[in-house]
Amino acid sequence: MKKMTNKLPENFFWGNSTSSMQTEGAWNVDGKGKSVYDVRPATENSSDWHDAIDEYHRYNEDFDLMAKQGMNCYRFQISWSRVNPTGDGDFNEEGIEFYNKLIDALLAKNITPMICLYHFDMPLNLAEKYNGFLSRHVVDAFVRYSTEMVKRFGDRVKYWITFNEQNLYSMSEAFRIAGYLKGDETDDELYQISHHVMLAHAGVANYIHENTDCLIGGMLAYSEVYPASPNPKDILYARQINEFLNRNLLDVFVYGRYSNEVLTFVKNHHIDMDYQPDDDKVLIKVTSDFIAFSYYRSDTISSEMVPEGTLPNYYLDKGVKKNPFLEISEFGWQIDPLGFRDILTKVYNEYGVPMFPIENGIGVREEFDGSEIEDDYRIKYHRDHIQAMEDAIFEDGVEVLGYLGWGLIDIPSSSGNMDKRYGTVYVNRTNHDLKDMKRVPKKSYWWLKHVIETNGGDLSDLK
């Protein structure tokens, strides 16, 4: 038996993950087309999406902060409508040049770039004209856009993912994030969107593997889900959630086929997922070089709260129950490092593909008064999750490529709420006042810097 040494590999990735609409701003400059986010107004508890943290103009400043912290990986997103304004027509060379410069700036600081091709920001034209990923035309448009990006940047960018948190397209979130603007949100449409998104992923993954030396993996939003009790029905529901929302996609990412249980359910319930005869030829070729996922929390499911006849895809909309054994964040998310370890280990045990957690963090309300923000709660969160990851590596034998935190320089949350801050660096703006957007390291910045310097060897408090 190979002896495990409690030391992470020298090429282990430490870094930051973001999306374009939560960082770039510059929503209407240099030929960028509108996305569905650009037309969303500010609300009482959220900002609009026009400015974000202005990384379009400040990326060098932010990359300096990442490099000083010791980060060697940055997962960012290309804005489809910045490089391809209608999502369908000519490419915008000004937008492409922005990403050329951004990638070169990362490489100059020895930070490995990782590109995500879609993070819910459908070009407005495709949403209005075709109802987003409900249409196979949009699948073809996405593959065209994505393969062009691989041709432009694949010489310098080796790590790729297609869809952020792809299993969300199997949940009620699917209609919001797929560019779906009109319709009845039927069960058929849910499964059609999910299948079309998988076909889009397959088209890009197959292109990369057949034409480049780049690496690509599928990505899930993975929440550990526990049964609320020993009730066998609670246990059944927890297992079905994992099967329908996670394993169904993992089976395609690794084996090139959907879950037998899910396909049987589709057949028995006469769901039309628009599965065409030639689709098998595309899916069967899919493989993954790694499994990427986000992890923030766990959930607990009570079957008693779920109405009979509910699709397993919607169980979590109906039956989530508080877990009395876990601490809950101020935004209602259960903090569960052990769930992180369990996901790393069980997925690796079953699929044997390197794991890559590329989002992890805790959102907290914070205010800057001129002195350093003492965010010990964030240090504890990351320490406990990094320790859980190391336990998965050293105790369970999991191959893990790296650990990327989410939004480690403050960005608006996924709902546009600047009050929900994940960063180790404070950005001086609020939902409705841009202020000066000054970047100010928090206490956690220096703690994570030390963790990275020791390659995860020392997770203790700063002396």
CA distance 121 to 27: 12
- Give buried/exposed letters for 308-343 (b at 16+ CB in 10 A, else e): eeebbbbbbeebbbebeebeebeeebbbbbebbbbb
Residues in the chain: 463
The one-letter amino acid code at 27 reads W
| Residue 165 annotated to the active site | yes
Tokens for 221, please give them: 């939003």
* Nearest residue to 355 via CA among 294, 397, 398, 391: 398
Q: Rounded to an integer, what distance in angstroms lies between the CA atom of residue 312 and that of residue 300?
A: 14
Return d(Cα 431, Cα 43) in angstroms, integer: 9
CA distance 178 to 132: 6
The two three-digit tokens of residue 264, written as one number: 């049987």
Structure tokens at 252: 């395609």
The answer to whether the beta carbons of residues 134 and 189 sit under 8 Å apart is yes
What tokens appear for 31 in the block? 């030929």
What are the tokens at 126? Answer: 């495709």
Given the residues 55, 189, 224, 359, select the one marked as catalytic.
359
Pairing type for strands 327-328 and 334-335 reads antiparallel
CA distances in angstroms from 41 to 38, 129, 316, 457, listed in the order given: 8, 21, 28, 45
Q: Which tokens go with 421?
A: 């801050």
Residue type at position 333: W
Q: Is the dihedral of CA 226, 191, 417, 78 positive or negative?
A: positive
Query: How far, CA to CA in Å, does 432 sit from each of 367, 418, 428?
Result: 14, 9, 12
| Nearest-angstrom CA–CA distance, 196 and 107 | 34
Question: Cβ contacts of residue 395 below 8 Å, gap of 6+?
Answer: none
Amino acid found at 285: K
Residue tagged active-site, from 55, 165, 224, 390: 165
**Distance separating alpha carbons of residues 160 and 76, to the nearest angstrom:** 10
Q: CB–CB of 380/448 below 8 Å?
A: no
Show which residues are catalytic.
165, 359
